[in-house]
Amino acid sequence: MQNKKNIAVFASGSGTNFINIYNNINNGRVVVLISNNVNSGAVKFAKEKSVNFAIINSTVYSDVDVLNKQYEFILKSHKVELILLAGFIKKVPLNIIQIFRNRIINIHPSLLPKFGGRGFYGIKVHEAVIKSKDKVTGATIHFVNEEYDEGSIIMQKEINVHYNDTPNSLSKRVLQIEYALYLEVVNLFCDHKIKIVNNKVEING
């Protein structure tokens, strides 16, 4: 039987990418969900599927050092090998970025470096795209580093922006390409086909 990588998913909202990963990943297994939002759709799904989950936020852990160490404790206790961000609105703690260097992956709903960085998330990204009158947008999969949306890009996919698009219609179309793109990257990573060479991503296969 093929060994599967233990995956943690971080999610704050509806959890659609989390659900997609859980249902369709080929060579990994989701062993724990971490969320800052106890009422999120991601947590609801984790409960339904009996997926281990942990709530980590400043309400539960008022001391930031204790909070950051809790991430570390949960991930180590589940022997996590890969972290996937799926609509996670909190910044990943520095200690976790250091321990899991080049093993934390995020999906962003634009063609980075455009419309990335602090404050650009969710519908705000699509509002900015519409306002810019750009003709194309898309999704980006990238490694996570110390800065918002600045880690090495792994893969991108473009779609056209329609003349009558609204932020909501654009969001729905980008989300559809996110699903397949994220699965492709995760499977490549779990098959050891993604590596960093001189701070650039190389994909084999």
In the numeric block, the tokens 């490549």 are attached to 188
Is the omega angle on the peptide bond into residue 167 within 30 degrees of 0, that is, cis?
no
Structure token pair of residue 138: 């898309």
Please provide the size of the chain in residues.
205
- In the set 78, 108, 142, 192, the catalytic residue is 108
Dihedral sign, Cα of residue 146, residue 19, residue 29, residue 74: positive
Structure token pair of residue 84: 């996937």
Annotated active-site residue 108? The verdict is: yes
In the numeric block, the tokens 């997609």 are attached to 20
Q: Which residues are catalytic?
A: 108
